[in-house]
Amino acid sequence: MPTLRILLAEDVAMVRGALVALIELEPDFKVVASIRNGSDIVPTALACQPDVSIIDIDLPGLDGLSAAAQLHQALPTCRTLILTNLSRAGTIRRAFTARVSGYLLKDAPPEELASAIRNIAAGGKVIDPQLAVTAWDDRQNPLSTREHEVLRLTAAGADAAEIATVMHLSIGTVRNYLTTIVTKLNARTRVDAVKSAYDAGWLP
């Protein structure tokens, strides 16, 4: 039986160790890399050439979905399985836009994880059954690309002046964007707008 080479990216040390132990209970699986930082995913994958990468979304450095998209470009032979606690429709759609092959929740039974790894390694697609309906949620992000960037910087803690500097805009223009964002998301404040976008999966 051929051995599947697996890269695991998970930032919580105890969870990472438990997943490595669980995965290697399978006789045809071998964890060739176990990392915590999303920015290390692509260089590590290029070095160890895994068949499957298992990636959490909420990682330090580069977030898991951005890393997955970069990995698809850099090493298209490596199939990616997202393993996360995030079940928002927008996040699931972003994952498949990033060309991942599977999306499982961390509370899935261990046998589902093993099955998902084998399935995507064979060229299949996997989505957690709990998420099948959620994935078809038809709410679309109403924000323009620039509005989304303003909101992303706001979520990161930047004020209007800092956003203006980063985006090469006037402070007045940034404030106008923020007013539009709050209105489009039916929010009361900027904080509410950030929460609404996060809950919908439009922010990582």
CATH code of 27's domain: 3.40.50.2300
Considering the domain architecture, whether residues 82 and 121 belong to the same structural domain is answered as: yes
Structure confidence at residue 5 (pLDDT): 97
Structure tokens, 164: 């203006």
Range(s) of the domain holding residue 50: 4-136
Which residue in 81, 6, 72, 172 sits closest to 163, CA to CA? Answer: 172
Calculated CA dihedral for residues 7, 12, 17, 18, nearest 10 degrees: -100
The closest of 76, 35, 87, 79 to 59, measured between CA atoms, is 35
Asked if residue 156 and residue 117 are part of one domain, the reply reads: no
- The count of domains in the chain is 2
- Residue 168 and residue 100 share a domain: no
Q: Is the domain of 97 the same as that of 164?
A: no
| Angle at alpha carbon of residue 143, lines to 155 and 186, rounded to 5° | 80
Query: Based on the domain organization, do 153 and 96 belong to the same domain?
Result: no
Closest CA to 82 of 23, 147, 126: 126
Domain boundary (102, 118, 136) is at: 136
Provide the residue type at 192 as one letter.
D
Better-predicted residue by pLDDT, 25 or 107: 25
Residue 134 reports pLDDT greater than 80: no
3-21: pLDDT as tens digits: 999 999 999 999 999 999 9
What CATH number is associated with residue 194?
Answer: 1.10.10.10
Q: Which two tokens stand for residue 68?
A: 């997955």
Task: Indicate whether 162 and 109 sit together in one domain.
Answer: no
Alpha-carbon gap, residue 41 to 67, rounded angstroms: 7
Question: For position 96, what pLDDT does the model report?
Answer: 81
Identify the pLDDT of residue 94.
80
Gap between the Cα atoms of 125 and 146, Å rounded = 32
CA 114 – CA 126 distance, rounded (Å): 12
- Residue 126 shares a structural domain with residue 42: yes
32-91 residue pLDDT tens: 999 999 999 999 999 999 999 999 999 999 999 999 999 999 999 999 999 988 777 677
Same domain, 121 and 186: no
For the cut 70, the answer to whether the pLDDT of residue 138 exceeds it is no
- Residue 204 pLDDT > 70: no
Q: Stretch 88-117: mean pLDDT, rounded?
A: 86
Match 């997955």 to its residue by tokens. Answer: 68
CA distance 188 to 96: 31
Mean pLDDT of 119-134: 80
> How much is the average pLDDT of 23-34?
95
The reported pLDDT for the residue numbered 56 is: 96
Same domain for 111 and 29? yes
Residues 105, 47: one domain?
A: yes
Domain co-membership, 86 together with 158? no
**Contact between residue 52 and residue 80 where contact means Cβ atoms under 8 Å apart:** yes
Residue among 159, 165, 90 nearest 131 (CA):
90
For residue 30 the two structure tokens come to 């071998």
